[in-house]
Amino acid sequence: MNLEDLIRPNIKRMKPYSSARSEYQGKAEVWLDANENPYERKLESLSLNRYPNPKAHALRQAVAEWKGVSAEQVFLGNGSDEIIDLLFRLFCVPGQSQTILCQPTYGMYAVSAALNDVATASILLGEDGQPKLEEVLQVEDENTPLLWLCSPNNPTGISIEEDRIRAILGSFSGIVVVDEAYIDFSDKESCIKLLGDYPNLVVMQTFSKARGLAGIRVGMAFASAELITWLDRIKPPYNLNSISQQIALEAIRESGNQAQEILKIRLERKRLRGALETLPGIKQILQSDANFLLLELDNPGGLRNYLLQQGIVTRDRSGLPHGDFLRITVGTENENDLLIRACAEYFAGSKLEKSMS
Ligand SMILES: *Cc1c(COP(=O)(O)O)cnc(C)c1O
């Protein structure tokens, strides 16, 4: 694969923005280069009157050590959602390219594709949650620079087998993105270890889910150093604010605390499944490697509305290719107890209604 051949032509010609702080990174006493307000505004040790480090240098270094890659293989975005958009802009030509999605999957890939005027070619995940290589190759043409895999997948919760991912990486001639937003809830290994074998691989992770920091908007991408330099050329100069950089750094230093939470969520996932499985109206609960369960029901909207009346918000995923589902995030022990009780009441009530009609 020649990466340059895949880059959108106008981006290949584009001269990137050079921010004041990316031109000079050293230590100085007087900073008069970026039209900042000189009067200090501090949050703990952060100088908020100054622009953030444009490449989030310290955070990239810490993420690299944490994940066992080099800092040159790390890109950080204002959430994974920004990285998704940047990947479309980097590789896809508006009005000309198409991208491959494996449905059902995370909605932002299609939204971002539409926003960039990129057509989507969808293939269906099997009942086992796996994409088929033959189907990928059937829809691939010379205008297909980008393919999305989500593992564990949202909304199914099922992980894509490593052999499948390798087969697609080896045969597809464009970039394959593996979105691992939920990887920390799973026993499976990250695809980061495949980076050395496949120059067309991009792995995404995020601080939003297992790390408990959805509010700071920090997403991570891992890829070849060459691909990362292209993302750096097109990103907004200060896409990660100072506060988020600092909080993400602290989270990496304290990752032991999150390990406890992740363990608790995984145990609750098991308990929640066990309790819901005993209820009569639930057809099946898919195997989940993530922090949510996907329940197959006759009428997910009915249960969703009942739960809403009890103050419990869930996500109706009716009309998926393999059936009608409700997606429920694993909450705290107390939240899950409330959910289980409300579901039990709903199904007891609907049985009553049926027997009376
Ligand atoms: C929640 C989620 C993300 C996270 O996006 P952020 O912008 O990092 O918060 C990414 N991918 C998938 C599949 C998700 O479900």
Distance from CA of residue 287 to its chain's centroid? 19
State the pLDDT at residue 354.
61
Instruction: Tell the residue number behind the tokens 């750094």, with chain if given.
Output: 249
Indicate if the pLDDT at residue 21 is higher than 80: no
State the pLDDT at residue 27.
83
This prediction's pTM: 0.93
Question: Do 146 and 112 meet the contact criterion of CB atoms below 8 Å apart?
Answer: no
- Our answer on whether the CB atom of 206 is closer than 6 Å to any ligand 1 atom is yes
Q: 153 by DSSP, 3-state: which? A: coil
Confidence of residue 143 (pLDDT cuts 50, 70, 90): very high
Closest by CA to 178, choosing from 170, 187, 167, 169, is 169
How far apart are alpha carbons 263 and 269 in whole angstroms? 10
Substitution candidate for ligand 1 out of 82, 108, 292 with most atoms within 8 A of CB: 108
- Our answer on whether the CB atom of 219 is closer than 6 Å to any ligand 1 atom is yes
- Which has the higher per-residue pLDDT, 21 or 343? 343
Indicate if the pLDDT at residue 351 is higher than 90: no
- Our answer on whether the CB atom of 328 is closer than 6 Å to any ligand 1 atom is no
- Our answer on whether the CB atom of 337 is closer than 6 Å to any ligand 1 atom is no
Confidence of residue 353 (pLDDT cuts 50, 70, 90): low
Q: 268 by DSSP, 3-state: which? A: helix
C-alpha distances in angstroms, 274 versus 78, 154, 268, 271, 314? 37, 21, 10, 5, 18
Indicate if the pLDDT at residue 35 is higher than 80: no
Averaged over 324-340, what is the pLDDT? 96
Question: Do 154 and 164 meet the contact criterion of CB atoms below 8 Å apart?
Answer: no
pLDDT digits (tens, 9 = 90+) for 112-142: 999 999 999 999 999 999 999 999 999 999 9
pLDDT digits (tens, 9 = 90+) for 286-320: 999 999 999 999 999 999 999 999 999 999 999 99
State the pLDDT at residue 352.
62
Question: Do 308 and 270 meet the contact criterion of CB atoms below 8 Å apart?
Answer: no
Highest mean pLDDT among 38-42, 88-92, 349-353: 88-92
- Which has the higher per-residue pLDDT, 17 or 96? 96
Across the chain, mean pLDDT equals 94
Distance 206 CA to ligand 1 centre (A): 7
- Our answer on whether the CB atom of 214 is closer than 6 Å to any ligand 1 atom is yes
Substitution candidate for ligand 1 out of 102, 151, 208 with most atoms within 8 A of CB: 208
Indicate if the pLDDT at residue 31 is higher than 90: no
Looking at the chain, list the stretches that DSSP marks H as alpha helix, in order from N- to C-terminal side.
3-6, 9-13, 20-23, 57-67, 80-91, 108-115, 133-139, 162-171, 225-234, 242-253, 255-277, 300-309, 333-356
State the pLDDT at residue 355.
62
Averaged over 62-78, what is the pLDDT? 98
State the pLDDT at residue 44.
85
Q: Which of 29-43, 49-63, 102-116 has the lowest mean pLDDT?
A: 29-43
Cβ neighbors of 220 (< 8 A, separation 6 or more) are: 63, 67, 74, 75, 76, 77, 80, 83, 204, 205, 206, 207
Strand duo 315-320 + 98-103: pairing = unpaired
State the pLDDT at residue 79.
97
Question: Do 118 and 148 meet the contact criterion of CB atoms below 8 Å apart?
Answer: no
- Our answer on whether the CB atom of 314 is closer than 6 Å to any ligand 1 atom is no
From the CA of 207, give the closest atom in ligand 1. Answer: 8
Residue 133: DSSP 8-state: H
Residue 70: DSSP 8-state: -
Q: What percent of the chain has pLDDT over 70?
A: 98
State the pLDDT at residue 16.
84
pLDDT digits (tens, 9 = 90+) for 180-232: 999 999 999 999 999 999 999 999 999 999 999 999 999 999 999 999 999 99
How far apart are alpha carbons 55 and 244 in whole angstroms? 13
